[in-house]
Amino acid sequence: MTMTSHHGPSAEEIADLEADCIRLCQEMIRIPSVNFGEGKGDERAMAQYVVDALAEVGIASEQIESAPNRVNVVATIAGTDPTLPGLVVHGHLDVVPANPDDWSVDPFSGEIKDGFIWGRGAVDMKDMDAMILATVRHWAKTGFRPARNILIVFFADEEAGSVYGSRWLVAHRPELFEGYTEAISEVGGFSVTITGGHRLYLIEGAQKGIRWTKLTAHGDAGHGSFINPANAVTRLSEAVARIGKYEWPQRETKIGGIFWRKIAELTGDPYDPSNVRPLLKHIGSAARMLGATIQNTANPTMLEAGYKANVIPQSASAVIDGRFLPGFEEELSETIKELAGADIEVELLVHDISLEVDFAGPLVDAMTAALVSEDPEAIPVPYVMSGGTDNKALSDLGIVGFGFSPLRLPEDVDFFPMFHGINERVPVDGLTFGVRVLNKFLRSC
């Protein structure tokens, strides 16, 4: 074993780090750890691959099975200063399904084509898994030890609610996380080029919460040929239309305010916290996702009524996918009830918290410094994510989480549709950039 000097890894060691990351990403994509939801998933082969990759360089790990074939992997990288609070670095092993007929390449090939690694999980999130593995393997090979303890966790079941992954571990193995106060994971640290050629790196510092609700309308059953003013389907349809067409007011959150003020500053456009939609034009394809983070949303997604064309049913139901900004859950809940109307039952089906952290402190400084060291034109800025990650489960233990899986992306890449999308792929040079940044960040934080 060779010891890395205090000046950092050599050019040869960095080349090995990058090559290892590319190989690991390809090989993990070739393991179809598909999560079909409703408990139908299998991370066993992926978990074993991770365990073997760690063991190859002398890193011990534990496989934790929460249900048959639902496997999590945990490993501790001991720091040199046990008095420092620990950092959790986590990824997830599962991916969503992929229909090969829809893809231009085999979604489980890990093929390198046109400068990209293609395959399901390339951006969600076997790219980050590969960066994590490559970094700690690099440390083991070179004898480097970080200052603080680092807990490496690869969760199961993130794509279907984390029941067998982060939520299970938090509930059944909370001792694993004792002494750890911060965490980093997916969907952050990637670049978005905005008007003027400014290259922002979006670090996830907030997540919307979830309120999935079921609306049920009751009425009089009867023959489809009769006049029926108490038609449950009609009542439900009117309620669904009111909710689906409602224009939610824009709300400023702590993290959202930082992000949109920066966009206004860089582009010279005015900043109005009550209406930031004029700024969306500056952020290109990111506008689709970030446009959903300036307000609450409530989208009708499912309808159910009747059993025969000529029978008016006694009841009809719909499901609403509601997402609320940090601090605005009550507004979402009360507005949906008001729009539904007094005659419609509103039942909460699924609930999850929102998250928002302070974008300040040593961890943020280390993320920023690592990005700028690899891209001097980098402008790190926090953003609000419309979905959620395993950081929500860790927050139950008081762990403060960020999304930081760094990637430098070509200006013309439409990144957000890659998540769960057809022809998911990650640029090779973006991945190698990311593992260099992650390595620098974890060495210094």
Summarize pLDDT for 251-300 with one digit per residue, the tens. 999 999 999 999 999 999 999 999 999 999 999 989 989 999 999 999 99
Do 127 and 249 belong to one domain? no
Residue 23 CB partners (closer than 8 Å, separation 6+): none
Question: CATH code at 138?
Answer: 3.40.630.10
Residue 215, in any domain of the structure: yes
Q: Enter the DSSP assignment of 41.
A: B
Mean per-residue pLDDT over the chain, rounded: 95
Do 166 and 24 belong to one domain? yes
- The pTM for the full model equals 0.92
Give me the pLDDT at residue 5, please.
Answer: 40
Domain termination site, one of 352, 381, 399: 352
Cα separation of 193 and 55, whole Å?
39
**CA 156 from centre of chain:** 14
The single-letter code of the amino acid at 106 is D
Per the structure, the complete domain to which residue 226 belongs is given by: 208-352
Give me the pLDDT at residue 419, please.
Answer: 87
Do 169 and 305 belong to one domain? no
pLDDT band of residue 324 (cuts 50, 70, 90) is very high
Cα separation of 339 and 323, whole Å?
16
Do 333 and 423 belong to one domain? no
Residue 196, in any domain of the structure: no
Q: Enter the DSSP assignment of 176.
A: G
Do 101 and 170 belong to one domain? yes
State the residue for tokens 């979830």.
210
Q: How many domains does the chain have?
A: 2
Residue 330, in any domain of the structure: yes
Tens of pLDDT, residue by residue over 207-228, are 999 999 999 999 999 998 998 9
The radius of gyration of the chain from alpha carbons, rounded to an integer in Å, stands at 24
Judge residue 341's burial from the number of C-beta atoms within 10 Å of its C-beta, 0-12 exposed, 13-18 middle, 19 or more buried: middle
Give me the pLDDT at residue 414, please.
Answer: 83
Do 245 and 339 belong to one domain? yes
Residue 359, in any domain of the structure: no
Domain termination site, one of 326, 352, 378: 352
The single-letter code of the amino acid at 370 is A
**CA 271 from centre of chain:** 28
Task: Judge whether residue 236 has pLDDT over 70.
Answer: yes
Do 145 and 225 belong to one domain? no
Here the tokens at position 194 are 């905005």
Do 150 and 216 belong to one domain? no
Cα separation of 332 and 116, whole Å?
40
Task: Judge whether residue 22 has pLDDT over 80.
Answer: yes
Give me the pLDDT at residue 7, please.
Answer: 66
Residue 56, in any domain of the structure: yes
Q: Is there a cis peptide before residue 125, judged by omega within 30 degrees of 0?
A: yes
Q: How many H-runs (helices) and E-runs (strands) does the chain carry? A: 11, 19
C-alpha closest to that of 339 among 314, 326, 322 = 322
pLDDT, mean of residues 77-106: 96
Do 239 and 317 belong to one domain? yes
Q: Are 397 and 182 a contacting pair, CB within 8 Å? A: no
Cα separation of 434 and 403, whole Å?
13
Tens of pLDDT, residue by residue over 130-158, are 999 999 999 999 999 999 999 999 999 99
pLDDT, mean of residues 6-23: 91
Cα separation of 424 and 34, whole Å?
15
pLDDT band of residue 1 (cuts 50, 70, 90) is very low
Domain termination site, one of 323, 352, 381: 352
Question: CATH code at 255?
Answer: 3.30.70.360
Provide the Cα torsion 306, 311, 313, 314; round to 10°: -160
Burial letters 32-58, b for 16+ CB under 10 A, else e = bbbbeeeeebbbbebbebbbebbeeee
Do 222 and 337 belong to one domain? yes
The single-letter code of the amino acid at 107 is P
Residue 193, in any domain of the structure: no
Give me the pLDDT at residue 2, please.
Answer: 36
DSSP notation for 251-315: ---HHHHHHHHHHHHHH-----TT--GGGGGGGGGGHHHHGGGSB-EEEEEEEEE-SSTTEE-SE
Do 328 and 396 belong to one domain? no
Beta-sheet strands, E only, within 134-208:
150-155, 180-185, 190-193, 199-207
C-alpha closest to that of 312 among 221, 400, 213 = 221
Residue 327, in any domain of the structure: yes
Residue 216, in any domain of the structure: yes
Do 35 and 180 belong to one domain? yes
